[in-house]
Amino acid sequence: MTPQPRPDDERTRIREAMDRLLTGQPETSDGSLTVKALAAEAGVHRMALYKRHADLKNEFDERVRTETKQVPETEKQLRGTVSKLKETVANQRAELEELRHLVTNLTLASAVLTLTPDAPAEPAPAPDNVIPFRPPTS
């Protein structure tokens, strides 16, 4: 079994990787300012940043925002998702309002058709030129 690195060593590597990425001097990653690149640069699993070192991940995002005047990639993705969801909600609200108007109109039409007072009580007699298939039963 391989020994687990001490958390202090991992945190030190993450902080050093953070500094290298922010100064534009990556050694093992592509140099992008993402958590994926930070994990690769520090030699840790990306989930370690999300689970054990969430504070360092947040610190990295904050440093990216303040030192480089850039919005972190995750925030860009989330903002895009939020705007799409807001658009979807607006479209669904409009569709719901349209359906409510349609239900109202159909209810009124149904009431008009069922409550017409001049509707005949008995069916109209058949014209003289119509021959029934079966003779009427008495």
Question: What are the boundaries of each domain within the chain?
Answer: 7-70, 74-106
- Rounded Cα distance between 43 and 115, Å, is 79
pLDDT of residue 121: 62
> Is the separation of the CB atoms in 14 and 49 below 8 Å?
yes
pLDDT of residue 2: 53
pLDDT of residue 134: 73
pLDDT of residue 80: 94
pTM above 0.85, yes or no: no
- Nearest Cα neighbor of 7 from 64, 60, 56, 63 is 56
pLDDT of residue 116: 66
Tell me the mean pLDDT per 10 residues along the chain, length 138.
65 92 88 90 91 91 85 84 97 97 93 73 71 68
